[in-house]
Amino acid sequence: MDSSDRLQKLGQDAYKRKDFRAALHSFNLILQLLKKDKIALEIYELGIRNVSSSDPNFKILHRLREHMSRTAKDPLAVLPTEIAKMIMEYLVFKQLVSLTCVSKTWRGFLQSIPSLWTRLDFSNARRSVPQRAVQQYIRHSQRQGNLLKKLPDIQELSLTNCDLETSLPTPGSAEMNQLRRLRLNKCQGLFYPEELPSLRALELVAFNDMLEFISDQEPDVRPMGFTEIAVPFCYTLCVEDLLRLVGSRTEELRKFSIAHCPFLSEFDLKSLVNTGLLDQVVDLDLSATQVTDKVVESLILRSPQLERINLCATKITGVAVKALITKPDNKLNYLDIRDCDRISADAIAFARATKGLTVQCSSSNIKRGKKIRFG
């Protein structure tokens, strides 16, 4: 008994049991075996016309009819993998993004070809591209270094959890000469700031071993100094690391942050101020550090250009607040003293009454603190 005979017997048995779904399916399989797909399709369409949409068999018939009516073949199922990859290489970036929406199979296939994602072109995007999407496309490349080398005119860059020696220029290379702002978060490998001649703003987040991170550069190798430096959440940071990072051109530094570096002692902070690193700084963030009134006294003597200072969650008292506000040639216009529980209410009132000064404080400031005489 061949396949068609067996299917015919199954269909007859199903018809006798009044299992019309199984009978219909068996008879149509016979028609397909006989290469009479058109007749099988007509039977499904006839069934759909005669079955109510509320009938549970309606969806089954509809699904089978759609399956029979498909004439197109999936290229990925027909073409050899090498040929399919070759075709994809000719597509532009916008077309690749569209193809990832075809199906999970297509998306997985396209994402498995790193070379397709080394040419990112968002110029034809209808709306702004989310940063998460850009990061996702970069991950598809699996070769960040190659990708970044194809962006010689990039001016701002942020990297997270990556290997710097394959992502940024190494000694002797002449790449990314236009990069002006760089943010590195939890990255590994040696960093060569001297290989980025236009770099002016640098942020290093959560680097716990700065000595192994910064290359041994000569102090005057860089043609320009930094205008902005931020090293937040670096728990093993020391003054020597900062001096080695900034180099000798400290006169150009205008914005500086060592927020949430709690292991820099009062002595370390005073030493940092006395090095002259902060002499021309305008915007200073020392929040969540061991800043005391003595550190602020040193700042007043060495940093006359200060306009904005963040002393949130530090150990200062009202004495430091008054000294900052009443210093000669005062340029201060912003003061953040939130969560400084040693500052009294009268010190806050004195600061708030100062014309041209914006003061940020929290309710904990007015509950306790050393009272002093103001005015």
User: What confidence tens digit (pLDDT) does each residue in 95-125 have?
Assistant: 888 888 888 888 888 877 777 776 666 677 7
Report the pLDDT value the prediction gives residue 46, as an integer from 0 to 100.
55
Distance CA 9, CA 7 (A): 5
More confident residue, 143 or 351: 351
Query: In this model, does residue 375 exceed pLDDT 50?
Result: no
Task: Give the model's confidence band at 238: pLDDT under 50 very low, under 70 low, under 90 confident, else very high.
Answer: confident
Q: Which residue has the higher pLDDT, 223 or 161?
A: 161
Residue 320: per-residue pLDDT = 95
* Residue 236 confidence (pLDDT): 80
Query: How much is the pLDDT for 111?
Result: 77
State residue 144's pLDDT score.
47
Q: Where residue 374 falls among pLDDT bands split at 50, 70, 90?
A: very low
What is the pLDDT of the chain when averaged over all its residues?
Answer: 75
pLDDT given at position 63: 65
pLDDT of residue 203: 93
The whole-number average pLDDT for the span 309-318 is: 95
pTM over 0.85: no
Mean pLDDT value of segment 23-29:
56
